[in-house]
Copies of this chain bind each other. A is one copy, B any other.
Amino acid sequence: MSFERDNLRKMTGYASGEQPEDPKTIKLNTNENPYPASTRVRDVLDQFDVESLRRYPPATSIGFRQAAAELHGVNPENIIATRGGDELLRLVITTFVDPGERIGMSYPTYSLYPVLAQIQDCPTFEVPLNDDWSVPENFAAEMNNAGVKLTFLVNPHAPSGHLVPAEQITQLAQQLDSILLLDEAYIDFTGEKATSPALAVASNNVIILRTLSKGYSLAGLRFGYGIGPESLIEPMMTKTRDSYNLDGISQQVAEAALRDQEHARKSWKKVISERTRVQSALAEMGFIVPDSHTNFLLATVPLGKRPAEEERVEEMDNAETLYKKLKERHILVRYFNAPRMQDKLRISIGTPEENDRLLNAIREIYGSR
List residues of chain A with CB under 8 Å of any chain B CB: 1-6, 8, 11-14, 16, 19, 27, 30, 32-37, 41-42, 45-46, 48, 50-59, 83-84, 86-87, 90, 94-99, 112, 119, 121, 149, 179, 204-205, 213, 217-223, 231-232, 235, 238-240, 242-250, 253
Q: How far is the CA of A240 from the CA of B34 in the complex (A)?
A: 30
Q: How far is the CA of A232 from the CA of B3 in the complex (A)?
A: 8
Q: Considering the complex, give the chain B residue whose CB is closest to the CB of A30.
A: B56
Q: How far is the CA of A312 from the CA of B152 in the complex (A)?
A: 71
Q: How far is the CB of A120 from chain B (nearest CB, A)?
A: 8
Cβ contacts under 8 Å, A90 to chain B: 242
Cβ contacts under 8 Å, A5 to chain B: 95-98
A239 touches B16 (CB 8 A): no
A55 touches B179 (CB 8 A): no
Cβ contacts under 8 Å, A149 to chain B: 3
Q: How far is the CA of A87 from the CA of B242 in the complex (A)?
A: 7
Q: Considering the complex, give the chain B residue whose CB is closest to the CB of A43.
A: B50
Cβ contacts under 8 Å, A56 to chain B: 16, 19, 30, 32, 213, 219-220
Q: Considering the complex, give the chain B residue whose CB is closest to the CB of A238.
A: B13
Q: How far is the CB of A34 from chain B (nearest CB, A)?
A: 8
B243 touches A16 (CB 8 A): yes
B55 touches A221 (CB 8 A): no
**4 interchain residue pairs of minimum CB distance:** A220-B248, A53-B220, A13-B238, A222-B247
A55 touches B219 (CB 8 A): yes
Q: Considering the complex, give the chain B residue whose CB is closest to the CB of A87.
A: B242
B249 touches A253 (CB 8 A): yes
Beyond A16-B244, A240-B119, whether A95 also contacts B219 by CB under 8 A is no
Could you list 30 A-B pairs, sorted by A, with CB under 8 Å?
A3-B179, A4-B95, A5-B95, A5-B98, A8-B95, A12-B238, A16-B59, A16-B244, A19-B58, A27-B55, A32-B54, A32-B55, A32-B56, A37-B54, A41-B50, A45-B249, A53-B219, A54-B217, A83-B83, A84-B244, A87-B242, A98-B121, A99-B99, A221-B247, A222-B244, A222-B245, A222-B246, A222-B247, A247-B247, A249-B250
Q: How far is the CB of A98 from chain B (nearest CB, A)?
A: 5
Cβ contacts under 8 Å, A52 to chain B: 220
A221 touches B53 (CB 8 A): yes
B53 touches A37 (CB 8 A): yes
Cβ contacts under 8 Å, A97 to chain B: 5
Q: Considering the complex, give the chain B residue whose CB is closest to the CB of A6.
A: B98
Q: How far is the CA of A112 from the CA of B33 in the complex (A)?
A: 38
Q: How far is the CA of A51 from the CA of B39 in the complex (A)?
A: 10
Q: How far is the CA of A42 from the CA of B213 in the complex (A)?
A: 25
Q: How far is the CA of A112 from the CA of B112 in the complex (A)?
A: 28
Q: Considering the complex, give the chain B residue whose CB is closest to the CB of A11.
A: B239
Cβ contacts under 8 Å, A6 to chain B: 98
Q: Considering the complex, give the chain B residue whose CB is closest to the CB of A241.
A: B13
Of B41, B84, B96, B99, the contact of A242 (CB 8 Å cutoff): B84
Q: How far is the CA of A235 from the CA of B32 in the complex (A)?
A: 27
A244 touches B86 (CB 8 A): yes
Beyond A56-B19, A220-B57, whether A51 also contacts B32 by CB under 8 A is no
